Every structure is written in C-alpha cells, then in structure tokens.
Chains A and B, each alone.
Chain A
C-alpha cells in the first residue's frame, strides 16, 4: 500500500501544533554541573522580568516520584525522579522550568538565571547506596562441567535516536478540570497515567492527544516534556508549549543503553552444552527502562540457539551521562553484538564454518521463546518460523558465502530475533465505527510514527470487511476516544493492535450481517454475508429508515503469545589496512515476519533498521566530557549514518504465516537492527583477522586493532 500524502492546513506533527497554537513558551534552566544540589538564587528577580509568566523550581514542583519510562503497570522501573529534582544528576537536567510570553522573553529569562551548586558526593539515589538499580540471575538446565569453552566480551556504546521531529508538547487547562496534553508520543495512555502521577491528579483528569509522530524509535516511549508543560499550564492557567532543540535532544532525551557483555559457551563435541551471558548495563542517572532493556539482551538472543543449559546474570548501574531509555531493538542490538560475535569466534577457533555451526544449534519449530520461562508450553510461546533455515540458506547464497573473497574482503553472518509485543502483558482496544456513506473510522491508541501503523490497521480492517482500504480512516490517538492501548513499541502494533482491529472489524461485520438479514430481500441475487446488499446500502440503512441504529465494532486483543520474527544479516566488507576504514560492500538482510501485510512498509522497516544498525556498528557515539556532559551539541557533531552512505542492500523475505497473528502476521519494526553490527564485526574478522569487540567500529579502532591486537580479544579457556 502506498501512503497518500496530501497538503493540508491541519497540523500533523507536534511542531505544527505548537506553531498554530498561541501559548506561553516554555524552557528549561539547565544544570551546568552534576551531581549537585542546585538552587536558583534570583528567583524573585527572574519572576519579575518582563514577559516571564512562571518560574518553577524544585520547591514548587510536586513531590510525587515517577518514572519517565512508558510501560504498563505494574511498572518495572524505579520511581526515581520528580518533575524537578532538588539534586540534579546530569548536566542539563532542569533546575527550573520557565514559561514566558514569547521566545525572546524566554531567552532573556533563561539567561538571567543564577544557580548555585553544592556538589553531591553521596550515591546518586539515597535508596540505592551501591548504585546498582537492578540485579538478577536466571538459569535453566544443567551444564556439564567439562568441554571446550570460550569467553568473549564486548563493549557497546550509547547512541541517540535522532528522530527528525524533536520531543515537543503543548498543555492547556480544559473545562471540567481536565488538563489536555498534545504531544508527539508513542504511548498516549502511558503519558496520561504518568503525567497524572507526576502531578498528583486523577488519571481521567488528563487527556492526551497524540500528534503524528515524526520518528520515535523508542525515544518517544518516554515521558519527558509532557509533565513539564503540564505543570506550567496548571501553574499559569494558560496553554504552555515547549519543543526541545537539537542540542537538548542530545542532553535531555534518551539514548540506547551502553553495556559491557560477557559470553561464555561450553561445547560438548559438536553440541552447545551451555551458554552464559553476563551484562553490566549503564542506565545513566535514572533507572527508566534499564531493567527491561537489560533483560531483553538475553531474551532476544539466547533462545535462538539450542543448549543444554542457559545462564543469564547482570546488573544495571546508575551512572553519569544522559538517561538511557527504550530504543528500537530494545536490548537486542547489545545482546546480539555479544552473542553473535561470540558464536562466530567460536566457529573460527574451532575451525568451523560459522554458518554451519549456527545451522547445527539453531532453534527449530516448537522450541521455547523464553528459555528461562517454565510456562513455555503455552501456545504462542514456542517458536514457529517455518522458513528459517531456508531463509538462512537464501541469505548466504545471495551474499556469495563460500566464494573466495577478494583481498581484505570478508563475509560475516549474524542472526537476531524479536518479539511481537511484550509477552504476557499486552492489551489493545480498537473501535471501528461505520459512517453513513459506508466508510469506516478506526479509533486506536496505537501511533503512526512513520512505521506505517495507519496503513497496516487500515489494511487489516479493510480486508476483514471486504472493502477498499481507501474507505478506512485511522484516527490520530486521543485518550478521549477510549480506545485503550499501551501504545506503539515492542513491535506490538501489527500483532496486538492489529488483532484488536481485526476483532473490531469482525464485530462490525457480524452486526452488518444481522442488519442485512432483517432488510427486505435485495433486488440482486442475495448471496454472500451481506445478502446481496452493498456495503454502502447497509451503512445507509444503519443510519436511516426503519432499522436505523448506528453500528460500531469493538475489538480487544490481550494476547499472552508474542511470536518471534527472525532476521538474518550477511555483510560483505572490505577493510582498508592503511586507514582502518570499513567499507560495507553489500548487505543481505533476510526476515521471517509471518505473513506480509504491507510489502512496501516492510521493506521500509528493514531498510531503516539496517541504516540504524549501520550507524550503531560503524560510527555513532555520544562521548562525554569529564564532567559527564554530552560533547555532541548538534547534528553537525553527531557522526550518524546518512542515506547517501547506504551500501547495496538485498532484502529477502521468508514465506511464512503465524497462526496467532492477524491475517498471519508477526512483527517487523525492530528485528533487523540487531544483527547488523555483529555481521560487520564478523566480516571484519573474516577479512583481516582482527576481532573488534567495541562499538562503534571506527577506523581508528580498526587501525589500532590491526597494529597490535592479534590474537583477538577472546580468551580461550582450558
């Protein structure tokens, strides 16, 4: 399905909404240094400045702790932040929030702020003296104590989401004591609940209207700007708006979690007897998604391979720098870099073909999707990926695996898996309302952030009703539409919200069928479910005439299943031994995502995921200075991967069908990110014999590795 764009005077993205809405302009007095107890010393002077309408400090902000991570209750994240914290824990953190009549008064107000800092030497959070916000150990099966074994370690960096549309929100007091927040978010209902919690309000006293989202990637599964504008709107009684600048996106928004991961495998002849993963994860100064992202480092990697025993341990640490959060792939890219480079290294050290080794231990139909979950027998918690080995073979063939490479060229393989929604916890409700002219309107809390949620939901509804998708309009999310949904993340929209959309469309169809039966016989031959009536006729009859009664279909999906899509990436690289530069000559990305609902959308998702994977692999990084401040201040500084640098990419799609999914679909949005970096690292190992164990694999690191690092960083155990 091709997206149809049209010019419109209606605002679409949050900046458009902000532009067209007269409101006070809000900004942040940023902490110069951290951690420190920060005090604004000229509050009275600032408040008296012309055009300044409000200056709120920690003293004025409510003391309800919350988390900015948008996840359902019971939230796994610590409630470790306030709207304004008296102790600032990272440079840039708000010391005060300011609202002013216009940008000029705001700039003058912010520039006038004088802040004193009392260095904070204790633990970042008093209730977490050792700075370890979460720790765990999971085991399954018994490992034999002997056999060939290998230990490897990787370091992965923090990177930025770089949504083209920055975080932006608008809040205004509405009648009946309601506070309305208009925002660019992936999680409207989580925003509603978290804003209510942070401000100490009833959840239903907050209304959230979601704009079209100009890029999310997980960064807008966070509630950052919304409580700030909401608080200022409540304090001033006026509409208040705020948009982060690009510099603030690097400072105040979220990053992918940096981590150090260690993998140990033990082999009994040809068999993998045990695989262990240990993760030291940096969450930055607040806990947010730390625990769940960290857990997914194993959940999205270990089940891919059959072993007798599994072990996963880890710790999430508070630390300096910007706050880490949800990011497309959600732990998969970190875990994938660790596990997939490890298996490659094991194959090479054992003198085996890395593809052959994987084929031998690869999960098969019916294997559990969560190796640590005792309830793995429930339907949908077992792998169904009928085309997986075929896909692997096709990817290898397309990349020329096995053919002798040119000098300094090499091939690398890596796999990845994802989920389709968070296992066991998802819910989505969709309402499909029939209009009198036969078109339908779909209300949902899922969000289109460019990933094609609208197209997919429209297609699913249209196919179920047997109408053309141009007759289906998917509305922008609004919590007042009461289509409760956890939002768009965790690759959940097609599988979870899509299932609800299909259920709602079926419900509507049932009602239409009943109506058709009650109408006088049609003049045409009365066949089919509509008894010969056209959809438009039925719609008309539902609004006018003796059988009038408007029809609305309602569908809810609360799956416990979360089927796993799989991706295979094969990279061909050439390494310049003099400069250390890695040229990616060709990438093959194969995916098994269940039945494809929107082929063009799927290709876009794979291409985008690969581009993000390439940035992660080769260039992106967010270095900090000694004070923990992000050195990146603009897109001119941020070394990201541009469209002009995309290597030739072959996308392969396995033919498959997921019985639990809507029209046979799983999910596709995230799965192709994780295997890219390890495939490239493995290809570099193949090309020039060095094992890169740190991301990004910048040319200086390659050169340093070439200059002195053989043998590779992996340590073989006796």
Chain B
C-alpha cells in the first residue's frame, strides 16, 4: 500500500488520475486488512483540519474533521445534526470517522445525509480534470465516484424554525435500518427519509407547517405503496423497512410542536 500525502491541489489531481483512493478516517476503507494499492491522504491540504465559522455564520468543515468534533460544534446551532452524530456507532468510531468520509461514501442509508441535506450543505469537490468546485450536497450527481475528492463542506447559517432527526436500527453499533429528518421554515417544510428504497426519498412543500407536514406525510405514504425497488439486505426485510418507514414519519411529525392558538388563528 502506498500513501500519498498531498499538500497541493495539483498533487491531489495527479493522485486521483492515478487511481488513488481517498482516505477519510479509514474506519470502513481500512477495515479488516483491506488495503487499496494507493491511498490519498488529504490532511496536509490547507483547511483540511479546520472547523470554523465564516463571517456570515456558515460553518466550514474540512475533510479531516471527525464526527466527534462536528457534534461539539453544532450542538446549539444544528441540534438535529448533533443528534444524528450521537446516534452513530461508538465513541471510538466517531473519533476516527470523518464527516466528509461519511457523506462521500454514498450509501442508501447514511445518518448524516438527511440532516445535512436539509441544512443545505454544499461540498467542495475536485477531480483530475477540474475543480475544486462547490456543489450542493445531493444524492445524485457527479460529486460521487472514484477520481473524486471532497475537500470541504460548508453548512450555511441556520435559517429554520425547527429541524429533527430520527433513526431506527437493530442495535447502536449496527447502521440504521431507516432514518429521516424534517426541517420546518417560515415558508414551508422539507423532509428526507431513507431506508426503504435504494435512494433517500426527498420532499418539500410550501405553506404553513401543519398543512405542509400533512401534505408531505400523504406523499410519503403514497411512496410506500408504490411497487418500486426496495432495499434488500440482511439487516431487515423490505416489508419491515416499510413498516418502520410509516413509524418514522409519525415520529417526525410528533416531534413538531402543535401550532399555538395565535399561530393557528393566523393560519
């Protein structure tokens, strides 16, 4: 195994062109003696270890920032992101695994994707041909795949009334079966739920929170009845994922406080 410790963007591009695999915290990549022939370590790049707030209140998360560090930084500003991190694996795992390593490693159910997507995170991605360029974090797109390195993630300043994250797993040390988040803003509601189909389900609805929530819940129920592709693995049967999918939404909805009388009147 060869380790490239790139200190410049040019070095990163060259390494990616040569097929180097990006190393995050290594918790998955290096598990059980796996050893890709060439590894690319991004920690020597400027800003890689930074976790800092910009003048506009946005938060920069460098590629080497661990889940633990993120959790501490966002406890008060993004409690739902902090909660998602706290529910992941063990303390040792969270000390090692990186925020970008979790997100760049696209899996159908990832515990950081829903809250980060709802928060409107953007990622800085470089590939052998170009970049680095900013992209919105999304499940689709050219930000994933080999020959890509994520250099940083930026979370814009919080501009929501409420954000929630819930997760259901077999045990704490075993990844989620289903998870999801909702974000309620002045002008509408967004939701990201995963674990039923091979891709997260995403929806948004404008208008007052209660009505918008009800609308989204109806769309989610519809999605559950569609005979689309389903996740099938040893963690849980598709039917059980769907059953949990129903509960997921109920729990998210229940977490949203009922409107006060005044709000109801205004609505």
A contact residues around B31 at 8 Å (CB): 246-247, 634, 636
Q: Is the CB of B171 within 8 A of A639?
A: yes
Q: Is A149 an interface residue (CB 8 A)?
A: no
Q: Could you mark each residue 226-252 of chain A with 1 if its beta carbon is under 8 Å from any beta carbon of chain B, else 0? A: 000000000000000000011110000
Among B27, B32, B90, B240, residue most surrounded by chain A Cβ atoms (within 10 Å): B32
Q: Is the CB of A639 within 8 A of B250?
A: no
Q: Is A19 an interface residue (CB 8 A)?
A: no
B contact residues around A636 at 8 Å (CB): 27-28, 31, 89, 173-175
Q: Could you mark each residue 148-185 of chain B with 1 if its beta carbon is under 8 Å from any beta carbon of chain A, else 0? A: 00000000000000000000101111110000000000
**Smallest CB–CB gap between A25 and chain B, Å?**
11
A contact residues around B250 at 8 Å (CB): 578
**Smallest CB–CB gap between B96 and chain A, Å?**
12
Please measure, in the bound complex, the distance between the C-alpha atom of A579 and the C-alpha atom of B243, giving whole angstroms: 7
Q: Which of B1, B32, B244, B247 contacts A634 (CB 8 A)?
A: B32
The total of interchain contacts (Cβ-Cβ below 8 angstroms) comes to: 70
Q: Could you mark each residue 618-646 of chain A with 1 if its beta carbon is under 8 Å from any beta carbon of chain B, else 0? A: 11000100000001011111111110110
Q: Is the CB of A700 within 8 A of B237?
A: yes
Q: Using A246-B32, A631-B234, A700-B237 as known contacts, say yes or no to A619 and B90 having CB atoms under 8 A apart.
A: no
Q: Is B228 an interface residue (CB 8 A)?
A: no
Among B234, B239, B246, B250, residue most surrounded by chain A Cβ atoms (within 10 Å): B234
Q: Is B77 an interface residue (CB 8 A)?
A: no
Q: What DSSP secondary structure best describes chain A's contact surface?
A: loop
Q: Is A107 an interface residue (CB 8 A)?
A: yes
Please measure, in the bound complex, the distance between the C-alpha atom of A636 and the C-alpha atom of B170, giving whole angstroms: 12
**Smallest CB–CB gap between B167 and chain A, Å?**
12
Q: Is the CB of B244 within 8 A of A639?
A: no
Q: Is the CB of B174 within 8 A of A639?
A: yes
Q: Is B58 an interface residue (CB 8 A)?
A: no
Q: Is the CB of A698 within 8 A of B28?
A: no
Q: Is the CB of A698 within 8 A of B243?
A: no
List CB contacts (< 8 Å) of A366-398 with chain B.
none
Interface size on B, residues (CB 8 A): 27
Q: Could you mark each residue 27-54 of chain B with 1 if its beta carbon is under 8 Å from any beta carbon of chain A, else 0? A: 1100111010000000000000000000
Size band of the interface chain A makes with B: 20 to 34
Q: Using A246-B32, A579-B244, A633-B32 as known contacts, say yes or no to A699 and B174 having CB atoms under 8 A apart.
A: no
Please measure, in the bound complex, the distance between the C-alpha atom of A704 and the C-alpha atom of B239, giving whole angstroms: 10
Q: Is the CB of B240 within 8 A of A639?
A: no
Among B90, B237, B240, residue most surrounded by chain A Cβ atoms (within 10 Å): B240
Q: Is A703 an interface residue (CB 8 A)?
A: yes
Q: Is the CB of B173 within 8 A of A635?
A: yes
Please measure, in the bound complex, the distance between the C-alpha atom of A246 and the C-alpha atom of B27, giving whole angstroms: 13
Please measure, in the bound complex, the distance between the C-alpha atom of A107 and the C-alpha atom of B236, giving whole angstroms: 34
**Smallest CB–CB gap between B37 and chain A, Å?**
10
Q: Is the CB of B240 within 8 A of A638?
A: no
Identity of the chain A residue whose Cβ is nearest the Cβ of B174 in the assembled complex? A639
Q: Using A245-B33, A246-B31, A247-B33 as known contacts, say yes or no to A579 and B168 having CB atoms under 8 A apart.
A: yes
List CB contacts (< 8 Å) of A433-460 with chain B.
none
Q: Could you mark each residue 575-586 of chain A with 1 if its beta carbon is under 8 Å from any beta carbon of chain B, else 0? A: 000111100000
B contact residues around A580 at 8 Å (CB): 240, 243
Among B1, B89, B174, residue most surrounded by chain A Cβ atoms (within 10 Å): B174
A contact residues around B243 at 8 Å (CB): 579-580, 700, 703
A contact residues around B173 at 8 Å (CB): 635-636, 638-640, 642
Identity of the chain B residue whose Cβ is nearest the Cβ of A249 in the assembled complex? B32
Q: Is the CB of A700 within 8 A of B175?
A: no
Please measure, in the bound complex, the distance between the C-alpha atom of A640 and the C-alpha atom of B175, giving whole angstroms: 11
Please measure, in the bound complex, the distance between the C-alpha atom of A703 and the C-alpha atom of B246, giving whole angstroms: 13
List CB contacts (< 8 Å) of B191-248 with chain A.
234-237, 239-240, 243-244, 246-247
Q: Using A578-B247, A579-B244, A703-B243 as known contacts, say yes or no to A245 and B32 having CB atoms under 8 A apart.
A: yes
Please measure, in the bound complex, the distance between the C-alpha atom of A424 and the C-alpha atom of B191, giving whole angstroms: 66
A contact residues around B234 at 8 Å (CB): 623, 631
Q: A639-B235, A640-B171, A700-B243 are in contact. List 18 more A-B contacts (CB 8 A).
A: A104-B1, A107-B35, A245-B33, A581-B168, A618-B171, A636-B27, A636-B31, A637-B174, A640-B174, A641-B171, A642-B90, A642-B171, A642-B172, A645-B172, A698-B170, A699-B170, A700-B237, A703-B243
For the complex of A and B, the 9 pairs showing the least CB-CB separation, nearest first, are A700-B240, A639-B174, A247-B32, A245-B33, A623-B234, A245-B32, A639-B170, A619-B171, A634-B31
15 A-B residue pairings within 8 Å (CB atoms): A246-B32, A247-B33, A248-B32, A579-B244, A579-B247, A619-B170, A633-B32, A634-B31, A640-B173, A641-B171, A642-B171, A645-B171, A699-B240, A700-B243, A704-B240
Q: A residues touching B (Cβ–Cβ < 8 Å)?
A: 104, 107, 245-248, 578-581, 618-619, 623, 631, 633-642, 644-645, 698-700, 703-704
Q: B residues touching A (Cβ–Cβ < 8 Å)?
A: 1, 27-28, 31-33, 35, 89-90, 168, 170-175, 234-237, 239-240, 243-244, 246-247, 250
